[in-house]
Structure 1
Amino acid sequence: MRLDEKVIAAVGALPARNPVVLIDGPSGAGKSTLADALVAGWPGSAVPELVRLDDLYPGWEGLAAASRAVATELLAPLRHTGTGRWRRWNWAAGRPAEWHEVRADRPLVIEGCGALSRASAPLADLRVWLSADDAVRKRRALVRDRGAFDAHWDMWDEQFTRFVRTQHPLALADLVLDATQVPSPTS
């Protein structure tokens, strides 16, 4: 069974009508590809909203800030009032951009490094951890971003290591998958 089929089956078994799914793991593991496949193969007629943390990180040092925003600005209000929001980061201008509203009347998939934290985990219906061999994921990430990530790799990986050490996302996951052998779309 393919990785996306495993996640789609897990979503199909959820009792929630409009579930929230978090997909986390290290850079280059294949989170975006998995999220795209999940949205495309979503069971039933609903079309989930997809939020990518790449759009939320406030710069290259913003992993922790984006992770907090997922829990406090998006998921907690979504669960309590039926509406959450997130703010896009304008990478070209280096500053915050427009707000985006998310409503509880449709499923939600959030993917990215930092999506699965101790604060966000209880607010989700399915928590997915995706891993891959370190050398494989580094190659994937650097090829994917065509040089834009090269200078930031070490700093980003250190942030992610701190996040994992403090938040323990692997222990929070309902589904743990290894994408080492899965070809990336950029290969």
Structure 2
Amino acid sequence: MGVFLARGLLAPAGHGRLVVLIDGRGGAGKSTLAAALAGEASRSGRLSAVVATDDVAWHHSRFGWHDLLVTHIIEPFLAGDGVHCRPPGWVAKGRGGAVQVSAGTRLLFVEGTGALTDATARLADFSVWGTGDVGEQRRRGIAREVAAGAQHQAAVTRFWDDWQTEERPFLESRRPWDLADLVVLGTAGENGPSAGQVPAADGARDGARG
């Protein structure tokens, strides 16, 4: 799916700049999809970049960072500038480097839970909501963090539970799936998505905005 989506985005792009938002719950496969799309863009000769909202939010706020994303990343990119952003958490914690997008980039993928809002949708050319089985997303997310070796499973599980406690009301209040141009099934349990666990997407569009 990633190959066909990337080709569809690249075909009309010309020499302009495109912003693609990839949203979904934790563990929905957002970073995997973004990497696949960026890889296809690279093979097509289009310089692309992926910005993870986790980097913008790092030691700052789980969901209170949209002004940073818009003002310091998306808007400079669309203005034709390079991006060099040191989010507040990076400064406070002494993290080196910055969130960077080179001036020659033509296709920017922003991936992460909360990436798709009214404010960001107005600036985007295409947006994706990754839906799926919430239990499976949780299992995959915990397994991923444990495999990365950052913390023991008990600590990761506690973090995941805390995350979902904030994630659920945030998403229910914003309903990003209603803003999406495309809804994709990112994860499914053994019997497919569980009833009542997959957000309704009746208002989601199935094609790019005109």
Say whether the fold is shared (TM-score over 0.5): yes
Q: CA RMSD in A?
A: 2.6
**Contact 1:18 1:105 (C-alpha < 8 Å) held by counterparts:** no
CA deviation after TM superposition for structure 1 residue 69, in Å? 1.8
For 2:80 and 2:34, locate their aligned partners in 1 and report how far apart those are by CA, in whole Å. Answer: 25
Residue 11 (structure 1) aligned with residue 9 (structure 2): yes
The 1:48/1:138 distance shift into structure 2, 3 A limit, reads same
Task: Give 1:94-109 correspondences, 5 Å limit.
Answer: 95=93, 97=95, 98-103=97-102, 105-106=104-105, 107-109=107-109
2:192 alignment counterpart: none
Equivalent AA in structure 2 for residue 35 of structure 1: A
Task: Give 1:42-53 correspondences, 5 Å limit.
Answer: 42=41, 44-53=44-53
For 2:67 and 2:161, locate their aligned partners in 1 and report how far apart those are by CA, in whole Å. Answer: 22
2:124 alignment counterpart: 124
**Runs of 4+, deviation exceeding 2 Å:** 12-18, 65-68, 76-90, 93-105, 165-168
CA deviation after TM superposition for structure 1 residue 81, in Å? 6.1
1:28 alignment counterpart: 27
For 2:32 and 2:61, locate their aligned partners in 1 and report how far apart those are by CA, in whole Å. Answer: 22
For 2:79 and 2:86, locate their aligned partners in 1 and report how far apart those are by CA, in whole Å. Answer: 19
The 1:152/1:68 distance shift into structure 2, 3 A limit, reads farther
Q: Helix, strand or coil for the counterpart of 2:47? A: coil
Instruction: Give the structure-2-normalised TM-score.
Output: 0.72
For 2:103 and 2:164, locate their aligned partners in 1 and report how far apart those are by CA, in whole Å. Answer: 33
Higher Cα Rg: structure 1 or 2? 2
Q: Helix, strand or coil for the counterpart of 1:120? A: helix
The 1:29/1:156 distance shift into structure 2, 3 A limit, reads same
The gaps in structure 2 that reach 5 residues or longer are 147-152, 190-210
Q: Judge which range, 6-15 or 38-47, deviates more.
A: 6-15
The gaps in structure 1 that reach 5 residues or longer are 183-187
Task: Looking at secondary structure, tell me which structure has more strand per residue.
Answer: 1
CA deviation after TM superposition for structure 1 residue 41, in Å? 1.1
Q: Quote the sequence identity (%).
A: 31
For 1:77 and 1:47, locate their aligned partners in 2 and report how far apart those are by CA, in whole Å. Answer: 17
Q: Helix, strand or coil for the counterpart of 1:176? A: strand
Task: Give 1:105-184 correspondences, 5 Å limit.
Answer: 105-106=104-105, 107-146=107-146, 147=153, 149-181=156-188
For 2:100 and 2:127, locate their aligned partners in 1 and report how far apart those are by CA, in whole Å. Answer: 22
Instruction: Give the structure-1-normalised TM-score.
Output: 0.80
The 1:36/1:95 distance shift into structure 2, 3 A limit, reads same
Q: How many residues align?
A: 177
